[in-house]
Amino acid sequence: MKTITILGSTGSIGQNTVDLIARNADAFRVVALTGGRNIELLAKDAIRLRAEVAVTAFEEGLESLRTLLAGTGIEVAAGRAALLEAASRPADWVMSAIVGSAGLEPGLAALRHGGTLALANKESLVCAGPLLLAEAERHGATILPVDSEHSAIFQALAGEDMEAVERIIITASGGAFRDWPLEKLKTATVAEASAHPNWAMGQRITIDSASLFNKAMELIEAHEFFGVRPDQIEAVIHPESLIHSLVAFRDGAMMAHVGMPDMRHAIGYALNWPERHALPVAPLDLVKAGAMTFRDPDENRHPALRLAREVMQTGGLSGAIFNAAKERALDGFIAGEIGFLDMAGIVETVLEKMPAAAEGITLDRVLEADAEARRIAGGITQSVH
Ligand code: NDP
């Protein structure tokens, strides 16, 4: 029986994972479920999946969680230390689906027991890719990508020689504003940015899709995870979201991963890897789907892709700085402090202000750079406000 932990079980990826586990509950034993503020959902799933321990990342949720799980025999805990302890409990397969750089340390803790880390938390690779990969290697752990684009690339690369890879092409739906002119983007609201045309996801990644920051993060994620040069990675707008990414080989062949936009495919692939099991995902009817179209992203409207290229070239701590500045700017946009277009300007300014090159990546340095980038981004946000 496979033992499972879900970090971020109450989120969008977490819930899709819970759904897959619950459909085949006898095949799994759930070690830990962790959540944030949605205590009721955490408790409900802990009972449903008979988890050993349920953890909320925030101390203030402890009493409610304890009350909801009283008499069930499920262990209850709260706070950052409890989250890290739960992540470090041995499990064959751990889903890393906490949002933001808050997911980095729990992911590292999970790698240390040498199982499989199913990585949805792209921020871990953006902030500290070399650290994460080194930790996996040191402990004989496996990292499997869950981001749909990276799962697609991983599948296209199965059995291939990396020497034969010419380019990786990451598709982007273009998000909620793919057809909006620059002028209109200035007044875009949080509600408008939170309405993704094709994918149902958490609010933060949905807004990042509209600004193309999500795609920018994915370029860096591909660079770190697959070890390809920045000039070998490109993004292309594909509004239908049916091709989830492609690999171009030196013989001219392109391998594309094609399917319905449903995260349970990428999660289920990582769950069953290296086997393929049946999944509750609707098959794609190619004739009904009709045309698949592609176009270049407009970098005037969305500078995030250019910033991602700079980050890949610079390396060092620039990914941690980029991500933290983006997270803080996103907080500011969601709180109504800054406009949609201000986010990219803030990230660019923070990158200019903070030296990032030539520094070795350690966890302490990443956390320091993260805190400093948030502080500077917060200051700029206040001045814009
Ligand atoms: P959600 O916002 O839906 O869920 C985030 C999860 O993290 C929730 O369980 C939340 O708890 C928990 N959480 C929030 N803050 C903290 C914290 N400080 N410490 C510990 N736990 C916390 O996000 P998504 O599921 O959309 O995304 C999760 C990750 O997966 C992100 O890195 C995202 O980029 C990536 N991803 C998501 C995709 C998607 O389809 N959604 C696709 C590809 C990648 P609570 O809700 O209880 O407060």
Kindly state if the Cβ of 97 falls inside 6 Å of ligand 1: yes
Distance, in Å, from the CA atom of 106 to the CA atom of 80, rounded to the nearest integer, reads 9
Determine contact, residues 239/197, Cβ cutoff 8 Å.
Answer: yes
Residues 97 and 230 in one domain: no
Residues 320 and 355 in one domain: yes
CATH number for 92: 3.40.50.720
Residues 166 and 102 in one domain: no
Kindly state if the Cβ of 102 falls inside 6 Å of ligand 1: yes
Determine contact, residues 272/259, Cβ cutoff 8 Å.
Answer: no
CA of 9 to the centre of ligand 1 (A): 8
Residues 8 and 107 in one domain: yes
| pLDDT tens column, 104-150 | 999 999 999 999 999 999 999 999 999 999 999 999 999 999 999 99
Q: 345 Cβ partners below 8 Å, 6+ apart?
A: none
State if pTM tops 0.95. yes
The minimum-distance atom of ligand 1 relative to the CA of 10 is 9
Determine contact, residues 142/116, Cβ cutoff 8 Å.
Answer: yes
Kindly state if the Cβ of 13 falls inside 6 Å of ligand 1: yes
The number of domains in the chain is 3
What is the per-residue pLDDT for 246?
A: 98
Structure tokens at 224: 């770190």
- 274 is a domain residue: no
What is the per-residue pLDDT for 217?
A: 98
Residues 235 and 132 in one domain: no
Which residue minimizes the CA distance to atom 31 of ligand 1? 99
Which residue minimizes the CA distance to atom 8 of ligand 1? 11
| pLDDT tens column, 19-52 | 999 999 999 999 999 999 999 999 999 999 999 9
Any idea how long the chain is? 385
- 284 is a domain residue: no
CATH number for 375: 1.10.1740.10
Kindly state if the Cβ of 106 falls inside 6 Å of ligand 1: no
Residues 123 and 43 in one domain: yes
The minimum-distance atom of ligand 1 relative to the CA of 205 is 34
* DSSP letter assigned to residue 198: S
Q: How many CB atoms lie within 10 A of CB 303?
A: 19
Kindly state if the Cβ of 205 falls inside 6 Å of ligand 1: yes
| For residues 362-380, average pLDDT | 97
Residues 154 and 63 in one domain: no
Q: Which of 127, 145, 163 is the last residue of a domain?
A: 145
For residue 225, what are the domain limits?
147-261+297-302
Residues 136 and 22 in one domain: yes
Tell which one of 13, 83, 147 to mutate to probe ligand 1, the residue whose CB is within 8 A of the most ligand atoms: 13
| For residues 313-341, average pLDDT | 97
Task: For the chain, report the end-to-end CA distance as a whole number of angstroms.
Answer: 54
- 276 is a domain residue: no
Q: Which of 272, 302, 332 is the last residue of a domain?
A: 302
Kindly state if the Cβ of 184 falls inside 6 Å of ligand 1: no
| For residues 227-233, average pLDDT | 97
In three-state secondary structure terms, 365 is helix
| For residues 242-255, average pLDDT | 98
What residue type is assigned to position 3 of the chain? T
What is the per-residue pLDDT for 356?
A: 80
Residues 10 and 134 in one domain: yes
Closest CA to 322 of 90, 30, 122, 148: 122
Beta strands (DSSP E) in the chain are 2-7, 28-35, 53-56, 75-78, 93-96, 116-119, 142-145, 165-172, 233-237, 243-249, 254-258
Residue-wise DSSP of 29-94 = EEEEEEESS-HHHHHHHHHHTT-SEEEESSGGGHHHHHHHTTTS--EEEESHHHHHHHHTS--SEE
Kindly state if the Cβ of 5 falls inside 6 Å of ligand 1: no
Distance, in Å, from the CA atom of 144 to the CA atom of 228, rounded to the nearest integer, reads 17
Kindly state if the Cβ of 123 falls inside 6 Å of ligand 1: yes
Q: Which of 245, 269, 302 is the last residue of a domain?
A: 302
